[in-house]
Structures are given as C-alpha cells and as structure tokens.
Amino acid sequence: MRVAAIYARISSDPRGLALGVGRQIEDCKAWAHRHGTVVAEVYVDNDVSAYCGKPRPEYRRMCDDIKEGLRDGVIAWHPDRLHRSPKELEDFIVLIEATSAEVHTVTGGDYDLSTPHGRVTARILGAVARHESEDKSRRITRKAIELAQQGKRNGGGTRAYGYNAAHDKVVPEEAEIVKESAQRILAGDSLRSVCSDLNERAVPTVTGRSWSTTVLRNMLMSARLSGQREHKGEIISMGAWAAILTPVQTARLRSLLGNPDRRTNRSPRSYPLTGLVRCGLCGAKMVARPRDDGSRRYVCARGPGNVGCGKTYQLAEPLEHLIVEAVLYRIDSKDFVQAVAAHTTQEARAAQVEQELEDDRHQLDELAERYGRKEMTAREWTIAKAPIQDRIAAHERRLVTFTGTSVLNGYVGHADSLRRQWNTLTAARQRAIVSALLDSIVIGPGVRGRNTFDPSRVTPNWKV
C-alpha cells in the first residue's frame, strides 16, 4: 500500500466507550508511518445518529476515490469503523475486488477481502461486532497503548530508570549510568561485565536489587530512553519527555542486544581474541578450538561451515600474553595518547552524523506529509526524496564504521592499573579493550616440528 486513505468515524456512544476520532486517526497515521505508507487523505464521518441508516458522505467520497484509483488502500482503526451492516460490507467487498485495494485495520490486522477466506472472516467479524459494538478487550488494549504513549508503565509499577516517578524529569546520576552503559555496550563490552562493574561500584537499580543482565538489557533496549514512545516492542512516535540517549543509539542497541548471537554471552568468552586473530596463509578468521588435552588454541578451521585453509594453529595462552603486553605498552606510549585523541574526534564525528541522520529522516517525513496534502506531485516527491534517501544510506554506512573507545576511559597512561586488573576482567571486556586498539592479529605459518611459541609469527595490525 503506497498511497492510502485513512477512514475514521464518530459513532453514537451512549456508554461513553467509543474512541475519539482524533485517537483513531492518530493510530492510523502511526501505522502508516511505520509501514512507509503515505497518507493521501483523512476521511471522517460524524455518524452519531442512533440508527445506522444515515448516509456517510465522506465514506462515499473515499469509495469513489478508490474506484478511480486515486487511493490504493484504506487504513481504519477497526473494521467496525468501515461498515455498519452486512449490506455495507458486501458493497465494500465488491469495490475491493474490482480495484485490488488493500485494507488494513490497526486493531484487526490485515483485512484481506480479496480472498474467500478473508471475506468469510470479515463477515464473521461484522456479525460479532454488531453484538458487542465496543468489546472490552479492545478497550483494555487501547488503554495500554494510551499508557505507553504517555510513557507510563502498565498498571503502575516501578518507575523507569533514569527518570522520576512522573516520568517528566531526568535523574542526572542515573542518566550518567545509562549513558555509560550504552557507550560500553556499543563499544563491544558485554552485558555481564557492565553488570558486574555496576554491582561492584554499588550502583543501585530502581528496585534496589543488584544489576542482572536481563535488567540491564531491557533497560538499554527501551526506546523511552531516547524519548520515543513504544508499545509491544514497536516504536510508535516521539514522546514529550527528555531523552537520555539518541534515537540512533537506541536503534544500534536494539539491533545489537536483539541479536541472538549476542545472547550466547551467558558465560563470558574464554577466548578474548576471538574475531581478531587471522590466518597468515589464507586470511580467514581463526576460531577457538581447544586441543584434545584441553589447552586453548586458535585454529584456522576448514570443513563444513568454515572458510579457512586448516593449516594454521596457535596456542592461545602465549599469544594472548604477548598481545596484552603489546596493548599495555601501547596504552602508556605517546602514540597512544594521540590515538585516543583521534578516537575522541571520531566519537564527536559519530554524534554529528547521528544528528544529520535525524534531520534527514525528519525531512523525509515532511516531504511525505506535503505529498499527502497534495502540495507536490508523485514525480516531484520521488525526485525530492532520492537524494535524502541516499544521504541516509551513506550516514548509516558511516555510523557502522565508528567504533567507540570509551572502554579505554580511565586507562590512558595508566597501563599499570589495567595490568593489575587484567586477569579479573571478563574475556568480553578484555576483547573490547584489545579491539579498541587492534584491527587484527595475523598469525604467520608455523615451522614444522617446532613447538615453542614464536613471537615473530605474530603481526598485530593497530587501528591507528
């Protein structure tokens, strides 16, 4: 559905249960926005008469527009907004069949009148709707959405971390924790290590209990932190409260923490260089694979699911030791101070790109609205949005290349304290620190029969 009509109807409401027309339209617009559908026009009938025989001029006009191909679909809040009687439903089915227009209802899902099955469903729905014009469960759902839109928790409950109970003010010290955790996760740190760090520092949660990975994960994936409204995991619109994170940060966190690969970090990785070690012969990433005696190894693996040559092996212990020493040396070196300065610049640039991305998305929305109001033609709209879409794609590509160095905060020039802590850090945290500095570690071919560690086989590729 590309150019849709929204249909809303004010009906008689003796029990005061009907949904205001403004709410119907708001929900329909939100649906259109989420599905990239342009709203060409909103049709509203005032149908407050007690019986259902009254003509509906706007409904009639909308049907004519569909017939003429001006609209290729309809969005309504519920099927009962569209038809008031079986007769009206049958007429509507004829129209839909003739035009292949799509029908979507916000609370009833896709309403496929083009198939026999869909039509039967619609008839049954219509019959049910006549018996209970405003059923209870929908009202409850709607209430939940309203609460979500006001940024309130369903049924009260505890307040959201980072905000006061009324959800209209930021709690500064909690906002700092939110920002810090988000930055660390985005920089590659694990939920587990951020949690244990917060618990070690005795940072309280909202409930006063200690931090768990689930609590932290749910918190960071919440769109409310970037001032967005959310319902059932979907972002509905922008809220009125202050944001702690940017919408782009939320998007990155949700994709990162929603990624099933990431959920396997229940036990910390015991191979901190995973993903960084590459085979010098074929260039493949070497994978963690212990020897039969249990000693840890990085291996260039071949066979099903592997792309390597199968020729390069490296014991993990001495390699990790060497890399840690190299990293610690680097952190104390003059080069490194410059490197951090460069990374700080990079983070500032990332923030700028995030802002530009937001501006472009906003501009795209504005264009769609202007097109919907017929202030521009479809051709003008297509031409106008192309460069913006290109910019958005370019911004998104650039953002992926920015890697934060916030995991290194506090360690610059203090390699000694990092050295003392190193073995107490989780593998994920160690890996985050190493990968803030190193692009890859290439392992050259081994000499047959030689079993001692040969540092000359190891080539670290520094990021800066």
Residues that bind Zn ion (CB under 5 A): 279, 281-282, 284, 300, 308-309, 312
Residue 276 or 437: the one with the smaller Cβ distance to Zn ion is 276
Judged by CB, which is closer to Zn ion: 162, or 308? 308
* Closer to Zn ion by Cβ: residue 350 or 443: 443
Residue among 175, 148, 151, 147 at smallest CA distance from 161: 175
Smallest distance, Zn ion to C-beta of residue 437, A? 24
Closer CB to Zn ion, residue 156 or residue 304? 304
CA distances from 370 to 8, 240, 358 (A): 21, 24, 19
Question: Cα(217)–Cα(244) distance, rounded to whole angstroms?
Answer: 16
> How much of the chain is in helix, strand and coil states, percent to nearest 5?
50, 15, 35
Q: What are phi and psi of 45, to 5 degrees?
A: -110, 140
For the bound state, the minimum distance from the C-beta of residue 416 to Zn ion, rounded and expressed in Å, comes to 37
Distance, CA of 38 to chain centre: 22
Shortest gap between Cβ of 274 and Zn ion (angstroms)?
A: 16
Which residue's C-beta sits nearest to Zn ion?
Answer: 279
Q: How far is the CB of 431 from Zn ion (least distance, A)?
A: 21
Q: Provide, rounded to whole angstroms, the least separation between the CB of residue 454 and Zn ion.
A: 17
Question: What is the rounded CA–CA span in Å between residue 447 and residue 279?
Answer: 14
Question: Considering only CA atoms, which of 87, 127, 132, 81 is closest in space to residue 108?
Answer: 81
Q: To the nearest whole angstrom, how small is the minimum distance from the Cβ of residue 307 to Zn ion?
A: 9
Nearer to Zn ion, 4 or 316 (CB): 316
Q: What φ, ψ does residue 307 adopt, rounded to 5°?
A: -115, 0
Nearer to Zn ion, 151 or 280 (CB): 280
Q: List CB contacts of 26: < 8 A, sequence separation 6 or more.
A: none
In the complex, the smallest distance separating the C-beta of residue 461 from Zn ion, rounded to whole angstroms, is 16
* β-pair partners for 228: 238
Residue keyed to tokens 């000694």:
416
Q: Which residue's CB is nearer to Zn ion, number 281 or number 388?
A: 281
